[in-house]
Amino acid sequence: MKIISYNVNGIRAAMKKDFIKWLQAANPDVLCLQEIKATEDQIDTEAFKDAGYPYQYYYSAQKKGYSGVAILCKTKPDHVEYGTGIETMDFEGRNLRVDYGDLSIMSMYLPSGTNDDRLSFKFEYMEQFLVYAQELRMERPNLIVCGDYNICHKAIDIHNPVGLKNTSGFLPEEREWMDRFVDSGFIDTFRMFNDQPDQYSWWSYRGATRERNKGWSLEYHMATETIKVRVNRAIILQEAVHSDHCPVLVEVD
């Protein structure tokens, strides 16, 4: 199974940049999207059906044009779970899950900390999600949490770790949470295969940072240790340019 996760920073904007053509070429079995910034009725769902994705699930934020996640599937999942059941997390449409047999795949969009209020909200979300993920694993032990974590875990994941150490997305508290998340039983699938620096999935629109590869690694396929042996490949697809983010891919048996 080929799974791609992609923060599109507005699905309607991405679709104006040959997103469908890219999707057909990439050909994932499951596509997890974040920051769709739209409701289902605002999206050209027929275009996705024509591209081979008849099963589409959208979980939008209550605020129009903001946040939201989606999952597009070639084959029908056994179960779809919208949200987490935690109101303070769900009103911004940040978690959506599909189950195939014993495998669960979640599209998650963790909040950014653009100011003090949002940083406080981000920390609250992180703690609630850590508990939620541990409880979910009791029911669904083979879990992949795909998406935009809005956190660079280690110094290798950011282009300027010293200069950005006090910036949200690379704060010590955020990195410590990622440590705890991994220690609770998750594996960074990309780093299973690639230990090289300068492997990024987000670049600011300012200052030609993408051309200079001054980026951040914010996207992860975090898989539970129970399925480590089933992971065959994990890569970053930097050639996709529909967003300030790029997609990440993982293949599992």
Kindly report the backbone phi and psi dihedral angles of residue 42, in degrees, each rounded to the nearest multiple of 5, phi listed first. Answer: -95, 0
Whether residue 97 is predicted with pLDDT greater than 90 in this model: the reply is: yes
CB-neighbour burial class of residue 100 (10 A; exposed 0-12, middle 13-18, buried 19+): middle
What is the DSSP annotation of 112-153? Answer: P-SSHHHHHHHHHHHHHHHHHHHHHHHH--EEEEEEE-S---
Mean of the per-residue pLDDT values for the chain? 97
Handedness of CA 94, 202, 249, 171 (dihedral sign): negative
Active-site residues, by number, are 148
Whether residue 88 is predicted with pLDDT greater than 90 in this model: the reply is: no
**What pLDDT was estimated at residue 217?**
98
CB-based contact 90:83 (threshold 8 Å): yes
* pLDDT band at 86; cut points 50, 70, 90: very high
Distance of CA 15 to the CA centre of its chain: 18
Rg (alpha carbons) of the chain, rounded to whole number: 17
Structure-block tokens of residue 150: 């809005």
3-state secondary structure of 92: coil
CA distance 221 to 149: 10
CA distance 152 to 174: 8
* pLDDT band at 85; cut points 50, 70, 90: very high
- Kindly state the average pLDDT of the residues 199-228: 96
CB-based contact 76:55 (threshold 8 Å): yes
3-state secondary structure of 45: helix
- Kindly state the average pLDDT of the residues 181-193: 98
**What pLDDT was estimated at residue 114?**
87
Residue, of 140 and 115, whose pLDDT is higher = 140
Domain parsing of the chain, residue ranges: 2-252
- Kindly state the average pLDDT of the residues 172-189: 98
Digit-coded pLDDT (tens) for 201-215 = 999 999 899 999 999
Whether residue 53 is predicted with pLDDT greater than 90 in this model: the reply is: yes
Beta bridge partners of 202: 216, 245
Name the architecture of domain 2-252.
4-Layer Sandwich (3.60)
Cα three-residue angle 21-214-151, rounded to 5 degrees: 85
- Residue written as token pair 């409701």: 39
